Amino acid sequence: MRRLLLFRHAKAEQAEAGATDRDRPLAERGRKDASRIGAYMAGHTLSPARVAVSPAMRTQETWKYAAAALRPPPAAQTVERLYDATPHAIFEVVKATPAKTGSLLVIGHNPGMHELALMLIASGDVETRERLREKLPTCGLAVIDFAIDDWGLLHPRSGRLERFVTPKSLENAPK
């Protein structure tokens, strides 16, 4: 089995005049949300074996705040191709993951991340799939399991949505 965690970056500041899109930092809410998702991951044994992060500041910071809760935090690799990537470009990054890697976390951007999730999922809880179909909000985390033992065998509509969490869903969860 292989597990893919698709994590959209947290809420970022608006671009300032003269600044590039890549240089947008997280907003205060984004830092809090990324920390909350990281704590959720740590508390639910969702620490990935490998992490691939877009080079944008907001994705790098999302990982920084989420990783702080993981012990030890896995090393992250910055992958240039993930910036503003199409779902097919992200798919190719995932397929190129070493076969021995059991779980992969990808931190990237919409619309590519959302479209990839929809492209990969074939089963899972119907209500959860419908929530994901509607939107992959900032700091949303989709966990997708595959009955394969080599990432190179990945193909569309082969995954089971194991869970989908957002900062809002965690706020609304029973204590």
Flag whether 18 is in a domain: no
Q: What is the pLDDT of residue 175?
A: 56
pLDDT given for residue 20 in this prediction = 87
User: Considering the domain boundaries, does residue 19 fall inside one?
Assistant: no
Q: Which two tokens stand for residue 157?
A: 């509509």
Whether 132 maps to a domain, the answer reads yes
The number of folded domains in the chain is 1
Amino acid 14: pLDDT: 87
* Residue 16 in domain: no
Reference 109, options 77, 80, 67, 143; nearest CA is 80
Q: Return d(Cα 38, Cα 48) in angstroms, integer.
A: 11
Question: Which CATH number does the domain housing residue 53 bear?
Answer: 3.40.50.1240
pLDDT in tens, the chain (175 residues): 999 999 999 999 987 777 788 999 999 999 999 999 999 999 999 999 999 999 999 999 999 999 999 989 898 999 999 999 999 999 999 999 999 999 999 999 999 999 999 999 999 999 999 999 999 999 999 999 999 999 999 999 999 999 999 999 998 776 5
Tokens of 75: 């090393």
128 domain residue, yes or no: yes
Range of the domain at 118: 2-10+24-172
The pLDDT of residue 100: 95
State the Cα–Cα distance between residues 127 and 133, nearest whole angstrom.
10
Instruction: Determine, yes or no, domain membership for 67.
Output: yes
Place of tokens 């191709």: 81
